[in-house]
Structure formats: C-alpha cells, structure tokens
Chains A and B, each alone.
Chain A
Amino acid sequence: MGELAVDKHVQYIVSIDKKKDSFESVVMDHLRMNGAYWGLTTLDLLGKLDSINAGEVVSWTMECQHESGGFSGNIGHDPHILYTLSAVQVLALFNKLDVLDIDKVATYIAGLQNEEGSFSGDMWGEVDTRFSYIAICCLSILRCLDKINVEKAVGYILSCKNLDGGFGCTPGGESHAGQIFCCVGALAITGSLHHVDKDLLGWWLCERQVKSGGLNGRPEKLPDVCYSWWVLSSLIMIDRVHWIDKEKLVKFILDCQDLENGGISDRPDDAVDVFHTYFGVAGLSLLEYPGLKAVDPAYALPVDVINRIFFGR
C-alpha cells in the first residue's frame, strides 16, 4: 500500500493560500471561505496548522462578516449560510470564537428558518437539507441551538427520509450521500438518531463501495474521494462502518494523491483540488490512518477542537 505524502499536501495547501492570482483561485474567489475551511482543517488534521498565519486568517474572516451577522464567501460578496458555517469553523480551528458577537451570528441563522422547519441559504430563499445541517452544526458550535425551533427542524429533515432509508435535498428528493451526511449529522447533533433506520440506511451506504474500494454517492455512479467523507462519516454516526472494507477504501484514497505536486483528486489520475484533498485526509482520519488527528464525523472538525468547545473553557 502507498503512503500519505503529508509534506507534499501541506506544501500544496500553503501554496494555494499564497497564489491569489492563479486560475483556480480566481474561479474559487467567491467561495474562498469554504476553501479556507477545507485547507485549514486539512492542515490541522496533518498537525501543521501553524504553517499559516492565524492572525491574517482571522482578520480576513471577520472582514467577510456583514451587518446581518452572516458571512460571505469572500470580501465583496453577499452573506450566505454556507460561508457562515465555514467562518465559524475556521475561527474554531484557531480557538478564536471569542472574537465573534455570537448573538449576531445566531440571529442571522435563526432568521433563515422557515415556517415548516426547513432553512433557506440566504434571503433569496433556496431550501435544501444542506442548510438544515449547516444551521444546526453552526448554532451547536456557538452553543445556542435554542435560538431555532429544533423540533420543527428535525421534523423537516425527517420529511426528507426516503423509502431506502436515505435522505434527499427536499421531501421526495432522491437519496444522495451528501444529503444523507447532512441529515444524519443534523440528527446526531440534535440527539435524534433514533429516528434513523440504521440497518436499512447502513445497507444503502455500504452498497456505495465499489470493486476499486472507493465509494460512490448513489447507485450506479462512479466512486469519488469526497464520498469517502460523506458515506464514511454517516456510517460511523450510525455505528455501521464495519460493513465496508476499510482497508480497500484507504488504498483508494491513497491512490488519488498527486505524489509529485501534492493534493488529492476525486479519483486516481484526475486533477487535484483543495476540496478533495480535505475529504481524502478527513476520510483517512476516520479510517484511523496513523499520524492523523482524529476528526469528528458530525461536526467535521478535529476532535480536540470540538472538545475545547464543549468541555474546555
């Protein structure tokens, strides 16, 4: 089996941060906050968060906050729930949640909850269970879940449960591993996992593993490293991870590395990006690959960061 090229991946991530004029950077400009979360969490899992200047990141993050309390993907962009979670997660990594006016952020998120319990992404009203997860995860980290109607939020998520035990983006939407992660994660955080048919969902999830050892996101689709996170963390949250072949998955992820330039791609020999680099490393952490920090499957942050939030002071 190959090995995880830690130093190469660290170099890759640090270089993206620096190369603000590269094509990749320009195209990703509007979601830089997500990119920061993916890159920085990866560095922390690799034990190299100190490769980045914390002060610069924290100031830039706060410059992305708007009057409404929400955060945008970058300076000069509009606020959205997606970037609000990433901003809070980035601050949590650096143990800087205290720079936040927590009430302001919580009010922004609570304001996005709809009548039937769902969440919109922003003032334009797109509804998706991704946003339910984001709201619940973010408010839980900020320790003010009571700002929203949790019962209705859970009710809405359950209305998106399908006959195969999985979850979609809206009621009736096809089960999809990414949406399943969001729904299971939200249910885990709110203590509502008893609503999940773990055997039924576990079976659907473990069927995502294909011959190469990789995981796909839906029946009959190609494997992709990002599903190593979404499927795997879901299996762990419902206690069914032993139903897949972990060793083969480790090998698949390692095969997706660019050993020369660093970074991880969606499948072997494709171009790398920071998104797949994060999910590959986080997946390896869930699989207990040696030398990595443990990652929390529901919050998608290092376990020591979560412990610091809930038990440290």
Chain B
Amino acid sequence: MDYFRAIYKADERSPRALRLTRRAIHLNPGNYTVWHFRRLVLEALNTDLDEELDFIQRIANSNSKNYQLWHHRRWVIERLGSNARAKELHLIKSILSLDVKNYHAWSHRQWVLQALGGWEDELDYCQQLLEQDIFNNSAWNQRYFVVTRSPFLGGLIAVRASEVRYSVEAIVANPNNECPWRYLRGLYKDDIESLVNDREISSVCLKPSQEFRDAVVALWTSDTHPLDADLATAICDILEHVDSLRASYWIWRKNKLPIAA
C-alpha cells in the first residue's frame, strides 16, 4: 500500500501504476481511492476495456456486494457502449444465479437496460426466476420494472389484463405470498376502485368460499368470546392473536373496516 500511496501522490499514470492498483484492489476491494486512480490510469493509457471487464468479473466472484466494483463496471460499460450489452446482461444473470436477490446486481441490470437496451428477453427472464421461486420479491420488482418501462410491451395498460391473470394465478397457488398481492396494487397504480371492479380479481380474491370461511373459523380458539359474524372483523381478531408481533396493526386495521351493513 505504501507503493500505491507513492505512485498516487506522484500521479504516475503508467502500466506500473495500473498493475499496482490491481494488486491494491485484490488486497482490499473496498478502497475507493484505488478504484478512482485506476480509472485515471486506464484513461491515460487508453487500455483495452474488454480486459478490464474480465478483471472486474474476477474480483466480483468473491465481492459481489461491493459498491465500488459495480460503479467501476458501469464506468467501463459506458465507454464500451451497446456492444457490451449482451455480455453484461449475461454476467449479471450469472451473479444472480448465485444470489438471486443481490441488490447491486439488480440495480446494475436496471441501469444496463435503460442505458443500453436489451429489453426483449427481460420479461421471460423474470418468468424463469419466478418459476424457480414465486416468492422472489426482486424478480417481482423487476417484472414491474419491465412491464412499465419496456419499449416493446406497449405500456402498463396494454399488458394489464395478462399481468392480472398472472398475479391471480400466483395468489391462488400461494395466498400467503405477499408479492403478487402488492403487484396487483401496482398494476392499478393505487386506483383501488378499478382494482376491486376488475372481475378477474374480485371473483378469485374478494369472494371468500365456504371452504375459506370454515378455515378461518377453525383458527379461532377462544371459548369465551364468539367469533365476529363479519368475516373481515373476525380475521383481524384472529390475526391479532396469531400474528401477535403485529397485534397493534391488526387492531388498527379492524377499526378501519367499513361498518358491516
């Protein structure tokens, strides 16, 4: 590190300086000053940036949550332009295959799509990830990103019907999955009235079956207090006990319910 400090102070932008930054980064990839200096040297030497991508990838293998690394990668990609797109999207996929919720990887992926394109296969990619794990919140978030911003899908209104269908299927398969419930709200951008009036949603999610009612009743364990006749109130009462960490929330939620007719 003393070598690095000497070169940095002298502002030497040589191949030797480049090698030194490489070593310093291997020792401590969090050292942001070394990354800065490396960029100055890379610029001065007009180095092959494809090789630089390979270098960063090797570091990323054991440091996939390092801010400096991802930002440096972005700097390199900006200079390479859309030729780098396919390779980049592929790399991010491989990082996500190891840690499918890596926040940096997802943030970088969104940046690449917006800066360089590559939207065509993104919805399929989200689909694949959700097939692997329907609870993956990052994949649901990306799905929303794609349907709202992709220049190839026609915008949210155009895809809404098919996306509603997809979400409802996910809810029916796993009603305890918070993601598709939230996704539905997003599809209607908080226009709750339209959401409730969407027959596809209301027929599945808003008309509880007798089977559902029976299941709810079975959760009530009190001998002293009868379960409330109104289903929504009953559910809040049950959750107040069963999800006791959030008891205050359920009490508030119950008070918010419209008075049953």
Contacts and interface: CB of A to CB of B under 8 A. Distances in A.
A8 interface: no
Interface of A: 26-27, 29-31, 72-73, 76-78, 80, 124, 126, 162-164, 168-170, 172-176, 202-203, 206-207, 209, 211, 213, 218-221, 242-245, 248
A172 B110 contact: yes
B245 A126 contact: no
- The list of the 5 closest CB pairs from A to B, nearest first, reads A163-B186, A174-B141, A243-B249, A77-B33, A245-B245
Nearest to B34: A30
Given A76-B8, A77-B31, A126-B71, 4 more contacts: A73-B33, A163-B183, A172-B149, A219-B137
A124 B106 contact: no
A129 to B, nearest CB: 11
Given A124-B75, A170-B107, A172-B145, A73 B32 contact: yes
A30 B249 contact: no
Given A172-B145, A242-B248, A80 B32 contact: yes
Say what secondary structure dominates the interface of chain B.
Answer: helix
B225 interface: no
A30 B178 contact: no
Contact of A174 (B31, B36, B75, B138): B138
7 contacts: A29-B28, A31-B30, A162-B141, A163-B189, A164-B186, A174-B106, A244-B245
Interface residues of B, number: 44
Contact of B5 (A76, A174, A207): A76
Contact of B67 (A77, A126, A174, A176): A126
B120 to A, nearest CB: 18
Contacts of B111: 170
B245 A124 contact: no
A209 B74 CA distance: 35
Nearest to A213: B245
Nearest to A28: B30
Interface in B102-161: 103, 106-107, 110-111, 135-138, 141-142, 144-145, 148-149
Say what secondary structure dominates the interface of chain A.
Answer: loop
Contacts of A78: 32-33, 36
B179 A76 contact: no
Contacts of A77: 31-33
Contacts of A126: 67, 71, 74
Q: Which one of A168, A172, A221 has the highest number of Cβ atoms from chain B below 10 Å of its Cβ?
A: A172
B137 A163 contact: no
A179 to B, nearest CB: 9
A259 B15 CA distance: 50
B71 A176 contact: no
A30 B31 contact: yes
B185 interface: yes
Nearest to B178: A219
Contact of B39 (A124, A164, A170): A124
B16 interface: no
A156 B94 CA distance: 31
B30 A72 contact: no
A181 to B, nearest CB: 14
Contacts of A209: 245-246
A30 B32 contact: yes
